[in-house]
Amino acid sequence: MKVEEEAAPAVLNRLRRAQGQLAGVIAMIESGRDCREVVTQLAAVSRALDRAGFKIVASGMRQCLTDPGEEAQPLTEQELEKLFLALA
């Protein structure tokens, strides 16, 4: 399963945003910022990663359902469930 070309820019944007937020969290910890502020920003990083993951899984599901390709094996229901649960 590959990320669809039309979904890739949105996924990359979310991942880059998360990368920037994570760098900010690291800087906050290094500068001794308040724990609540750090946790708030860390939660934002987590949400950004979750959204990127959901977009990847949703894109992959659509791809597998509409055009599984010859060499690609369609994902089973159990495999799809495992991917979703990995993001929870």
Domain count, the chain: 1
**Domain for residue 3, yes or no?**
no
Average pLDDT, integer, range 37-62 = 88
Whether residue 74 has pLDDT greater than 80: no
The rounded percent of the chain whose pLDDT value lies above 70 is 80
**Domain for residue 2, yes or no?**
no
Separation CA 85–CA 88 (nearest Å): 5
Contact in structure between 87 and 50 (CB atoms under 8 Å):
yes
Q: Nearest CA to 21 among 56, 59, 55, 52?
A: 52
pLDDT (tens digit, 9 = 90+) per residue, 13-40? 999 999 999 999 999 999 999 999 999 9
**Domain for residue 39, yes or no?**
yes
To the question of pTM greater than 0.75 for the whole model, the response is no
Contact in structure between 1 and 64 (CB atoms under 8 Å):
yes
Q: What is the mean pLDDT of the chain?
A: 83
